[in-house]
Amino acid sequence: MYRSGVIMAWNVFKFCTALRGLGSIMILLVLGVVGVSYYAVVITNYGPALTAGGVDTLQALSVLISFHCLLVMLLWSYFSVVFTDPGSVSSSWRPTMDEERGDADPLTASEFQSDTESRGVRYCRKCNQLKPPRCHHCSICGRCVLKMDHHCVWVVNCVGALNYKYFLLFLLYTFLETSLVALSLLPHFIAFFSDGEIPGTPGTLATTFLAFVLNLAFALSVLGFLIMHISMVAANTTTIEAYEKKATPKWRYDLGRKRNFEQVFGMDKRYWFIPSYSEEDLRRMPALQGLEYPSKPDLPPQEF
């Protein structure tokens, strides 16, 4: 029994590692959906309508401008999540009793309860290093991630302290873009089942039908994830911490909705809806994410 249990655990770990390869396929899938949608909206339906004149031209122009603006923001946010390190633990990090107290910074909470006071210093046996508060080990990435939310195969990366904003914007612009595509193709979808004659080749009609179904499905599914993550931002919690929060009378990281939001999106309102931070927020980034922990030189384990 023991031996079979060990084999099962080993197989599960290997399965998690194999998810890295699956992520590359998911990126191609995302680009494939974008390509099908672009072909159906721009090339097949609304691009040719620009020369129709009158109301049809104005309608096509408004759809195409909105489509391309949202597409740019979607891809910008998506690749920001893919290529941004979610946050790693410095080998020189050492905890102190007041590590989560920072009254001088407007985004750190003096009412935070220190992990060193409540649960003791955590240690990751896989990474062979100490773990800051809100840090978790990702078996897929093979390392500890700061303020880890989850590992997302869609972006081939962990979602953590430094790219969580980009992930939320990716969800937002994906929902807006897929909703726009579904609504703009809805008349063509209805005409697909009508008795009247429909212009276009069988190939273009099939592409329009496929694009509508895919975008409608993505819009409905992403909406659920977006609502869930907005509620977690409002409470300053992560997907991993959600169950822990339910068992805690007062969540120690909750600073109030406004400051919780600013901790993720930054204090400069001009940057809230783009996958970037202002220079001031970048300088404040460790404290912004509740990660400004004093570091000390490496010490023998028995000294702390």
Active site residues: 152
Please state, in angstroms and rounded to a whole number, the distance separating the CA atoms of residues 149 and 238: 5
Question: Which pairs count as long-range contacts for 140-147, CB under 8 Å and 24+ apart, including other chains?
Answer: 140/16, 140/17, 140/19, 140/20, 142/17, 143/88, 143/89, 144/88, 144/89, 145/86, 145/87, 145/88, 146/86, 146/87, 146/88, 146/89, 146/289, 146/291, 147/87, 147/238, 147/289, 147/290, 147/291
**Cβ neighbours of 302 (radius 10 Å):** 5
Three-class secondary structure of residue 196 per DSSP:
coil
For tokens 């612009």, name the residue: 173
Burial of residue 161 (number of CB atoms within 10 Å: 0-12, 13-18, 19+): buried
Please state, in angstroms and rounded to a whole number, the distance separating the CA atoms of residues 211 and 214: 5
What contacts 276, CB < 8 A, 6 or more positions away? 80
